[in-house]
Amino acid sequence: MIELLAAASIGAALLWLVVQPILAPSAAAPVDLDPIDPEETPRGQALLALKEIEFDRATGKLSEHDYAALKLKYSAAAIAALDAPVKRFCSNCGAALPDRAIFCAQCGERVSR
């Protein structure tokens, strides 16, 4: 009799663990930990273009003259993007953060440096 009671209580606990998320779903929305694709930033685009022209030159698709002109153009763009202030974003909600922020103004989470 005790085994039957123990098995029933374990079964009820397991059933509760399975059904509870369905009956009372969490209010937390899924968090996108990487809100910005690095290749979509001006810096990422310039660096990607530099990689592509290096590859095109190595495979013979670009002449030395075209390669030099494109490298000069995209190197200047990459340097300008590196000199621009870096924007930070909250890893919890994706809101933009000021440079010296310790907490996110949107969700209140502590942010990493």
pLDDT in tens, 61-98: 999 999 999 999 989 888 887 777 667 888 888 888 88
Whole-model pTM? 0.45
CA 29 to chain centre: 16
- Whether 51 shows a pLDDT value over 90: the answer reads yes
The average pLDDT across 41-69 equals 90
Under 8 Å between Cβ of 97 and 79: no
Cβ neighbours of 93 (radius 10 Å): 16
| CA–CA separation, 90 and 103 (whole Å) | 9
What pLDDT score was predicted for residue 86? 64
The residue type of 25 is P
| CA–CA separation, 64 and 57 (whole Å) | 7
Whose tokens are 């949107």? That residue is 106
The average pLDDT across 37-62 equals 86
